[in-house]
Structure 1
Amino acid sequence: MKKADRTKKGMIFNIQKFSVNDGPGIRTVVFFKGCPLHCAWCANPESQYSEMQVLWNMEKCVRCHHCMEICPKKAITFFSNEIKINPYICNGCQKCIEECPARALQAEGEEKTVQGVLDVVLQDKVFYEESGGGITLSGGEMLYQPDFALQLLLAAKEEGLHTCCETTGFLKTELFAKIIEQVDYILFDMKHWNSKKHKEGTGIYNELILSNMTYAVKVGKKVLPRIPVIPGFNDSLEDAIQFAATLRNIGITTCQLLPFHQFGENKYDLLGKHYAYKHQPSLHKEDLEEYKDTFIKNGIKAFF
C-alpha cells in the first residue's frame, strides 16, 4: 500500500473529541470545510464555503467601521446597520480580526496538514482501543477535498485507527471508490428519494449519490443511511414509503432518522446569510413516531 503523504494540507473548521454519535465507540470527528450541496436547513453553514471565513458578531460590534478602513481587499461593507464580509474577495489575512476593538470578528476555518490533524486525533488512541472507536471525517463534505481526505484516511490506517466518514457521496464514482476503500464505516447522508426535490433542497440532483451508495453496499462496506427529517421537504408518510423502497432496492435494511433542529441558527447571523428555516419549530422524536413506523412497516428498521 502506498504510504500516506502526511504533509498534504486541507481546510478544516473543527476537531471534536469524545464524540459518541458519529460512528461506533468513542471517536474524534474532523470537520472538513467545503460542500457541493447547499442544503437550505444546513446546521453548519460555515462548512459550505471551502476557504477560511470571517464571522461577524452583531451583538459585540460597535459599528466603528475600522475593519472596513483597514481591509486591504475592500471585502467589508456596511449596509442596513450590518457588516457584510464577502468571502470571495477576502484573502484571509485576518487583519480585521486582529484589530477589531470589540473582538466582534472571528476566523472560521484553518489549514492543517495530515500530520497536524493526526497529532490531535492520536492523543485519544487509548479511548478508541477500549471502545472500538476511531476517527470520523465529516463536514461540510470530506469528498470536496478528495486528496486531503484520502491521505488522512491512509495515515489513519497506518496508525491502526478504525475509520468512519459522514458523506453525501457526491463525487465521481472512480474517486469515490478510491477513498471509501480506506473507510470502515460509512454514515451516508440521504436528503431525498426524489431527484427533482433533492435539487430543490440542496442544489444538486441525487442520481450520483444513490449510485455511489449502491456501489458502497455492493463492495461490502458497512453503510448506515442518515435521513434528516425536514418539515415540508421530506417529512410526509409518502416520503417515508418512498425512502424505504429506495433503500430496499439498494440492499439496505436499516437507517437513522435525524429530526430537524435549530442548533445552527445563530451561525447564519454570524455569516450574514439568510436562513430559510429561521422560524421553523424543531422536530422531536415523538413528532415522528408514525413516520418511523412507516419505514418499519415497509421493511426498513428505522431508529433515531
Structure 2
Amino acid sequence: MENVAKKTPDLRQGDASAEITDVRGRRHIIQSLISGAIAGSLAKTTVAPLDRTKIIFQVSSSKFSAKEVVKLIYHTYQKEGFFSLWRGNSATMVRVAPYAALQFCSHEQYKHILGTYYETEGRPLPPFPRLLAGSLAGITATTLTYPLDLVRARMAVTPKEMYSNILHVFIRISRDEGLKTLYSGFSPTILGVIPYAGLSFFTYETCKKAHAEYTERLQPYPQERLLFGACAGLVGQSASYPLDVVRRRMQTAGVKSRKYGSIAGTMSRIVREEGLIRGLYKGLSMNWIKGPVAVGISFTTFDLMQILFRKSQQPNFWRR
C-alpha cells in the first residue's frame, strides 16, 4: 500500500503545492521517469541543429567562429536539405529519453537518500549533498546509456550514406571496430558529467531555494524556472566543456582516421595542434547559447510535469 503524502510545503523544491511524498513509491518513480523523458526530449530537439553543428566543429581542426557556424549550417541546408540539420536527432532521442528519465528519477532518489537525516531534523539539504546528488544522478544515467551517445555522435559527423539508421551504426562499429568501441570516450564522459550534472542540479536547486527565501513565494513562475535552468546550464557546461571536446574526439576517431589513446594524450594533442583555448574550448560560445536554453527547458518541463501529475491526483481534477 502506498504511503499517504504529507501536505507539508517543501521549501527546497520551491513549490507551494509540493508534497513530501515517498519518492521510493512506484507511482512517484514512474512519474519521474515520464517527466524526465519528456523534458529531455523536448530540450534536445529544440537545440538539435546547434548541437550537431557544435559536434562537427569539436571533432575537426577547423577554426571556430560565428561566421563559420552560419556558413556550415547554410551549406548543410543547401546540400542536404532543412531536416538534415536534425540528422542524428533520432539517435539523440533514443538516448536522451532514457538518459533524462534515469537522471531526473535517480536525482530524486539520491536527494531523498542523502537528505533523510536532514529531513528528520527539519532542515533543508545542505549544499554539498545537493551537489553530490546531481553528480551521482549524472553518473548513473551516463553509465546506462553511453553507447547511444556514441552512436549519436557518429551519425552527427558522417554523411547519411555511411550509416542508414541507428541499428546500422551499432552493427558496423561492432563488426569493424569491436564492441569495446561502443564505450570509447567513456572515461572523459564520466569525468565531465560529475561537475556538469552536479553543478547543474546544484545551481538550479539553489536558485529555487534562494528565490523562495527572498520572495516568500514558494512556487516560481515558469519564466523564472527557465532563468534558473539557464543559469544551471551555463555553470555546468562551462565547467565541464574541455572534457566534452575530448570525449567527442575519442568517440569519432574511427570515422576521422585518427587514434586517441588516453584522456591526457588526447588533450595534449589537441592543445599542441590547435592551442589551449581554440582547441579545448572550441564551440563553447555556441554552448553558451544552446546550453542554457536546453537546460532551462529541461528543468522547467520536468518541474511543470511533476506539478501536473500531483494536481491530476487531486479529487475532481478531470472534471474541471
TM over 0.5: no
The structure whose residues are more often helix, as a share, is 2
